[in-house]
């Protein structure tokens, strides 16, 4: 039997055999890499990551199919997503494509790796040197270079602490030349001495405080020699102090002017805005509004409230209080305060049903009649019986004595059509047979559901 040698041929597309060029690229400058050469990529510490960028260029006149670069070496890997394809990428004449290689050593040594791009191969070499192991003391998490520590949300002026440690895991003494924290909103309450000598196995602990001065997100850096670690936190504006609603008078009555103020539990550290709303809950059936229950300035039932740093009382257009009218309808006035979108307080003032209030009473004497005019208000809208008594010059009641009038329907019709709340004006005319000059005074009595009232005697 004649032995035969079998020849296997690997046939590659011509585009894959075309010449390519490889460069180390720092983002601005390209440094040529020769086939088979050794490229030093730098020095880092165990756990940290060093990323090196390379560029593949097609100098030819035709396209080139570039296979995904292969990285062969302990603690090396192709950076995820750094090459545009998982298989191959067609590179047009004169164009270039980049890829990145990550080096994350696990020990202290010199680490080589082989990089293959199509048939182009070269070697890279990174060095790992001893460094203090940085840990979070609360979570025991080992921090690699570039790792972030979140201090969470902290109110402006307050402080949040995180604990850290430096450990020498090697067999020889390790020198840490400096541990720094920046900017000033991150600080070490007790700074570490520099340089710091760590004997084998020794651990030194320290703390970092986050002390925001405003309600903005913050970023900082912990530097241990040339290694950096990210710090972050969210500042929060301090809350507004508690607020309450205070009325100048808590004795509710109709046709009054009262005032409302908003004292704060303490001097405010921040600015704030809000709204004081006034709502009326009527006690009179069929009546929902009284146009004269309102703030005396600005909107009828809403007032803007402002708080500035240092204020111990909220302000209404710069003033510490706001005047309001109680109208002429029985019910309850409810105040609700909202600051920075949150309801803070409420208060109420009850306007109890009361007998009719006579504001003015006059009599006009004519030759053959007397006109009695009365203005006042009935906050129950229920006025009914009227009683009139006239007196002579000697103060004696004149015949026919007290004149009674049932005005229930008159008042009902009036209030049903009125838009002035419980206020009313009344004119009663009395024909007189005889000399009207003999009539000198009159009493007027009005009844409603809350009682009977007699106006002060009218002299004329």
The verdict on 116 and 205 lying in the same domain is: no
**Would the pLDDT of 7 be above 80?**
no
Helix residue ranges per DSSP H, 8-162: 14-17
The verdict on 189 and 286 lying in the same domain is: no
Query: How many Cβ atoms sit within 10 Å of the Cβ of residue 116?
Result: 14
* Average of per-residue pLDDT across 217-240: 96
Strand residues in 129-267 grouped as ranges (E): 133-136, 142-143, 148-155, 160-167, 174-176, 179-182, 186-187, 196-198, 203-210, 217-224, 227-236, 246-247, 257-261
Give the range of the structural domain holding residue 309, as residue numbers without chain letter: 246-351
- 171-220 pLDDT per residue, tens: 999 999 999 999 999 999 999 999 999 999 999 999 999 999 989 999 99
pLDDT given for residue 449 in this prediction: 98
The verdict on 380 and 445 lying in the same domain is: yes
Considering the domain boundaries, does residue 289 fall inside one?
yes
pLDDT given for residue 294 in this prediction: 98
Considering the domain boundaries, does residue 8 fall inside one?
no
pLDDT given for residue 18 in this prediction: 54
Considering the domain boundaries, does residue 6 fall inside one?
no
> What total of structural domains would you count in the chain?
4
pLDDT given for residue 5 in this prediction: 30
- 49-105 pLDDT per residue, tens: 999 999 999 999 999 999 999 999 999 999 999 999 878 899 999 999 999 999 999
Q: What is the CATH number of the domain that holds 178?
A: 2.60.40.10
Considering the domain boundaries, does residue 183 fall inside one?
yes
**Would the pLDDT of 2 be above 50?**
no
Q: How high is the mean pLDDT of the chain?
A: 94
**Would the pLDDT of 12 be above 60?**
no
Query: How many Cβ atoms sit within 10 Å of the Cβ of residue 435?
Result: 8
pLDDT given for residue 397 in this prediction: 95
Q: Is the dihedral of CA 51, 56, 57, 63 positive or negative?
A: negative
* Average of per-residue pLDDT across 274-285: 98
Q: What percentage of the chain carries pLDDT values higher than 70? A: 96
The verdict on 364 and 450 lying in the same domain is: yes
The verdict on 114 and 78 lying in the same domain is: yes
How does residue 339 score in pLDDT terms, banded at 50, 70 and 90? very high
pLDDT given for residue 19 in this prediction: 85
pLDDT given for residue 15 in this prediction: 47
The verdict on 101 and 167 lying in the same domain is: no
**Would the pLDDT of 430 be above 70?**
yes
């Amino acid at each position: 039997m004649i032995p035969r040698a079998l020849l296997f041929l690997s046939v590659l597309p011509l585009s894959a055999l075309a010449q390519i060029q490889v460069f180390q690229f720092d983002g601005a400058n390209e440094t040529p890499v020769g086939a088979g050469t050794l490229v030093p990529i730098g020095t880092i510490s165990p756990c940290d990551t060093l990323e090196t960028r390379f560029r593949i260029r097609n100098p030819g006149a035709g396209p080139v199919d570039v296979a995904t670069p292969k990285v062969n070496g302990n603690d090396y890997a192709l950076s995820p997503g750094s090459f545009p394809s998982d298989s191959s990428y067609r590179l047009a004449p004169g164009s270039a494509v980049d890829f990145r290689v990550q080096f994350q050593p696990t020990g202290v040594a010199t680490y080589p790796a082989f990089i293959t791009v199509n048939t182009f191969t070269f070697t890279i070499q990174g060095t790992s040197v001893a460094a203090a192991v940085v840990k979070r003391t609360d979570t025991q998490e080992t921090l690699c270079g570039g790792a972030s520590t979140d201090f969470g949300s902290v109110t402006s002026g307050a402080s949040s602490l995180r604990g850290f440690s430096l450990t020498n895991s090697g067999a020889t003494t390790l020198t840490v030349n400096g541990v720094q924290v920046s900017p000033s909103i991150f600080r070490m309450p007790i700074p570490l001495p520099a340089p710091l000598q760590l004997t084998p196995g020794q651990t030194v602990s320290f703390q970092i405080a986050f002390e925001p001065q405003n309600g903005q997100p913050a970023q900082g850096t912990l530097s241990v020699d040339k290694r950096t670690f990210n710090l972050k936190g969210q500042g929060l504006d301090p809350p507004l102090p508690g607020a309450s609603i205070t009325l100048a008078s808590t004795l509710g009555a109709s046709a009054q002017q009262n005032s409302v103020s908003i004292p704060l539990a303490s001097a405010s550290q921040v600015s704030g805005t809000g709204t004081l709303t006034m709502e009326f809950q009527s006690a009179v059936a069929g009546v929902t509004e009284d146009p004269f229950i309102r703030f005396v300035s600005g909107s009828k039932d809403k007032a803007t409230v402002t708080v500035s740093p240092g204020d111990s009382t909220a302000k209404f257009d710069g003033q510490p209080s706001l005047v309001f009218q109680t109208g002429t309808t029985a019910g309850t006035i409810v105040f609700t305060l909202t600051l920075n979108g949150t309801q803070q307080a409420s208060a109420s003032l009850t306007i109890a049903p009361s007998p009719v209030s006579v504001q003015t009473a006059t009599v006009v004497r004519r030759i053959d009649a007397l006109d009695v005019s009365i203005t006042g208000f009935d906050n129950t809208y229920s006025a009914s019986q009227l009683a009139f008594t006239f007196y002579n010059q000697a103060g004696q009641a004149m015949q026919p004595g007290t004149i009674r009038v049932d005005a229930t329907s008159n008042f009902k019709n009036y209030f049903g059509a009125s838009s002035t709340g419980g206020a009313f004006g009344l004119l009663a005319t009395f024909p007189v047979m005889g000399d009207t000059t003999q009539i000198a005074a009159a009493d007027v009595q009005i009844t409603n559901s809350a009682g009977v009232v007699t106006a002060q005697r009218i002299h004329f």
